Structure 1
Amino acid sequence: EHSGKMIADLNHIMAGGVSAQALFRGGNELPLGPKTDIRFGDVLRLTGPDAALSSVAKQLGGHIILPTMKSEVLYLALAMLIGYLVGIITITISGIPFAFGTSAGVIMAGVFVSYFRSCNPEFGGPVHEGARSFLQDFGLNTFVAVLSANVGSKVIAALGGDTIFWLAGIGTVAALLPPLIAFLVGIKVFGLNSVISDGAATGARNSTPGLNAIMEESNSSIAAVPYPVAYALTTVLALIGGYFSMILQ
């Protein structure tokens, strides 16, 4: 009924202290102004008294989602389970085993769930913002801690003489140059949006913290769209490269 109208046309509906703060379409935040048009499936973030918000949501034909202290963990557990099962699937082609790995599978499941939720905030049930932030930070810190515990002793044992300087130099170049080249190729050659190109480059580096930083700085989750594709491709290529390295040795 209201699809195609502008925000200014809804002033008579958004009364009682209700004001529009943001508009999301397909998970992406759009510039909000009096002439911004709304379409079916858009997510409108409003502030105001609960009673007035309920009235506005009813008149707009939408569903109101209020901040809550509850968190639905069933969808989270199912997404992790599906990602884990996808990650352990191994397909052998010409004697070469291909698999995403459990970590990549769970990450991709999380990316897809996040994208669907950005399009429909009701997807996945209620989630308390504090709980979501805690899980995100705790998971990232745990990942870094476990990784450091597994490889830290080996790195220290390998550092001797001038090895540390070579390692630091090669590591810096290997960490910065490939994603920079990929980013520039994306925007210069393929004409991609800088955020999308950055998301793809981050996925190629398998850097979830980098993806989080991009989404935080851009105030958009669009970088998560190319992330799993690049993540999966580079994971497969790394497996193939490792396989041929073992053959050559």
Structure 2
Amino acid sequence: MFLAISIGYLIGGIKFRGFALGPVTGSLFAGILIGQFAHVPVSGTAKSFLFLLFLFGIGYSVGPQFLQALKRDGMKPVLLAVIVCVSGLLTAIVVAKILGLDPGFSAGLLSGALTESPAMGTATEAINALPIPEADRARFVAHIAVADAVCYVFGAVGVILFCSAVGPRLLGIDLAAEALKLEQELGISRKAPGVESAWHMFEMRAYRIAEGAPIVGLSLRAAEERSPELRLFVQRIRRNGAILEAEPDLVIEPGDVVAVSGRREVLVNVLEARAEEVEDRQLLDIPVSIADVLVTRPDLGGRSIDDVTKEEWTRSVYLRSISRGGQEIPIAPGIRVERGDILRLVGPESQVSRAAERVGVVVAPTTATDFFVLGLAIFLGGLVGVLVTIPIGDMRISLSTSVGTLLAGLLVGHLRTRFPLFGRIPDAAVSLMTALGLAAFVAMTGLHAGPVFVSAIAEAGIGLLFGGMIVTLVPMIIGLYAGRYLLRMNPILLLGGLAGAQTMTAGMAAVQDRSGSTVAVLGYTPAVPIGHILLTTWGTVIVGIMA
């Protein structure tokens, strides 16, 4: 297994014209290859253990944004994801029935063509629960890996090309022009390469106030309010050799040396033309803090950055970055802050601490994992998955331990936005759970399928490959036109949402590359958690329907 993972990461890292299989699919191919030469016993318990860890980690990661995505103006990408995922399931069922595929091939067709490897796990669990001979179960499970390997390559390449090239052509749009238009609507200022955005750069400099300067005789509060959009703040004043701490009512006098904080571009372009900059290390020796803060306060959710900066507690505090669902999103006055976002704040230590209290809680690095919550959540999620059944026609399909564990991860992740110290798991641990858990599970699936790979390919025929192409493209086309003409989405957000619905980060990256803008991530982040949940669940559904 470990050899398959090692080789899989090597294969997955090889790029051809910007495309790479990725470590998960690489591990699948490596497992199949090794399985051609040696019979490797695969433990079902080990596979389940690793897969459940992966599912909990995925749910835990997207949980803070999932419920918020259902409430905010990201509802359109959410509906788009539902349309794409449901049409993908229906297309896979129709293709599988036309080709006469067994439950294993059908599940692999779905997981590969829709680029959602976790569906292999839910399908495997569903097959193992079927009342059929053990030999048939083993054969169907092996067929999942075979079909996934056949269909995944076009599935990944197809999504990338559709989102970045085919989709824009069908819509008749210029990606770069549309991205620039959306940036202007949101207030994003595009800068030349190598130049930092004003929203990201914070500096502090000292300036001598000349006789007759416009701010002489004004209080600090009045001076700062002359141009509030510039967000320049006085931190200290040197007067007659003494250093005075900034007080709102302190009056500025000629000859004062003021320590001013602000965006670098503003300091350079505005103040340097009006005041003499001086070197005063002692005056500028102010403790500066950088903190990642999880947004938990409900009164901030849905407010624009421009609106939030008008709050008194934001004085001297600057926003360096916003992370949403693990993706960094662009910063501009019109971008809205949502609960579950992680804001990177920079400014004087005391001001950042005060602002953090009004935003939520500081995400301090931790090395301790709350194994009590981790173990209990997976147990309860799995128990719910066994007990809950969903009626589909004449059948009743179990939710499955896999989907139950995924939902448990979502719940724990969401609860962290309300109770930040609940169920804490370090980012590195979550990354290990998701990366190693899925890669190892898929590698073991490949090892199991290796001995029957050639014969299974011969049994499925070339129709499996072309069927996979249909399953990849049909939901993308339906989603494209539904998103544009039914949901009336902005085309850039639409293309980002299509990539999110297919959980294909590389598709979003291709849109960003072609458009020269990162703004497509605003459509991707609300759609991707929905895609993960539905596509993973479809593994159980398609097995129940095709069995």
TM band (smaller chain): 0.5 to 0.7
* Structure 1 contact 196–226 (Cα < 8 Å) conserved: no
Moved more, 224-233 or 26-35: 26-35
Q: Output the TM-score relative to the length of structure 2.
A: 0.34
- Residues 1:86 and 1:140: Cα distance change in structure 2 (over 3 Å): same
SS of the equivalent of 2:319 reads strand
- Residues 1:42 and 1:50: Cα distance change in structure 2 (over 3 Å): farther
Residue 541 (structure 2) aligned to one of 233, 236, 244 = 236
Paired-residue identity, %: 19
Within 5 Å, give how 1:142-221 maps onto structure 2: 142-158=440-456, 163=458, 167=461, 169-191=462-484, 193-200=494-501, 202=502, 211=503, 213=505, 217=509, 218=521, 220=525
1:13 aligns with 2:314: yes
CA distance in 1, matches of 2:529, 2:400: 19
* Structure 2 contact 384–404 (Cα < 8 Å) conserved: yes
- Structure 1 partner of 2:331: 32
1:105 aligns with 2:404: yes
CA distance in 1, matches of 2:526, 2:535: 16
Q: Output the TM-score relative to the length of structure 1.
A: 0.66
| 1:70-115 C-alpha deviation (Å, 9 max, x unpaired) | 222333323322332233236496874412333333334435545x
Q: Displacement of 1:179 after TM fit?
A: 2.8
Higher relative contact order (CA 8 A, sep 6+): 2
Within 5 Å, give how 1:67-86 maps onto structure 2: 67-86=365-384
Larger Rg: 2
Q: Which has the higher strand share?
A: 2
SS of the equivalent of 1:189 reads helix
Amino acid at match of 1:83: G
CA distance in 2, matches of 1:50, 1:125: 31
Q: Displacement of 1:185 after TM fit?
A: 0.6
SS of the equivalent of 1:66 reads coil
SS of the equivalent of 1:9 reads coil
- Residues 1:87 and 1:241: Cα distance change in structure 2 (over 3 Å): same
Q: Displacement of 1:10 after TM fit?
A: 5.1
Amino acid at match of 2:436: F
| 1:18-72 C-alpha deviation (Å, 9 max, x unpaired) | 5313346899876422455657x464512447944323213x2532222222222
Moved more, 99-108 or 189-198: 189-198
CA distance in 1, matches of 2:407, 2:507: 16
* Structure 1 contact 25–43 (Cα < 8 Å) conserved: yes
Which ranges of structure 1 fall in alignment gaps of 5 or more residues?
A: 203-210, 243-249
SS of the equivalent of 1:71 reads coil
- Structure 2 partner of 1:208: none
1:131 aligns with 2:435: no
Coordinate RMSD, CA, aligned: 4.1
Residue 46 (structure 1) aligned to one of 344, 350, 364 = 344
- Residues 1:189 and 1:34: Cα distance change in structure 2 (over 3 Å): closer
Amino acid at match of 2:544: L
SS of the equivalent of 1:21 reads strand
In the comparison of the two structures, how many residue pairs are matched? 223
* Structure 1 contact 215–223 (Cα < 8 Å) conserved: no
* Structure 1 contact 28–221 (Cα < 8 Å) conserved: no
- Residues 1:36 and 1:181: Cα distance change in structure 2 (over 3 Å): closer
Which ranges of structure 2 fall in alignment gaps of 5 or more residues?
A: 1-296, 488-493, 510-520
* Structure 1 contact 8–34 (Cα < 8 Å) conserved: no
Amino acid at match of 1:132: V
- Structure 2 partner of 1:207: none
SS of the equivalent of 1:6 reads helix
- Residues 1:26 and 1:107: Cα distance change in structure 2 (over 3 Å): closer
- Residues 1:11 and 1:29: Cα distance change in structure 2 (over 3 Å): farther
SS of the equivalent of 1:125 reads coil
CA distance in 1, matches of 2:448, 2:544: 20
- Structure 2 partner of 1:223: 528
Q: Displacement of 1:145 after TM fit?
A: 1.6
- Residues 1:11 and 1:57: Cα distance change in structure 2 (over 3 Å): same
SS of the equivalent of 2:321 reads strand
Amino acid at match of 1:241: M
* Structure 2 contact 313–354 (Cα < 8 Å) conserved: no
* Structure 1 contact 23–29 (Cα < 8 Å) conserved: yes
Amino acid at match of 2:310: D
- Residues 1:26 and 1:69: Cα distance change in structure 2 (over 3 Å): closer
- Residues 1:50 and 1:106: Cα distance change in structure 2 (over 3 Å): farther
CA distance in 2, matches of 1:184, 1:14: 48
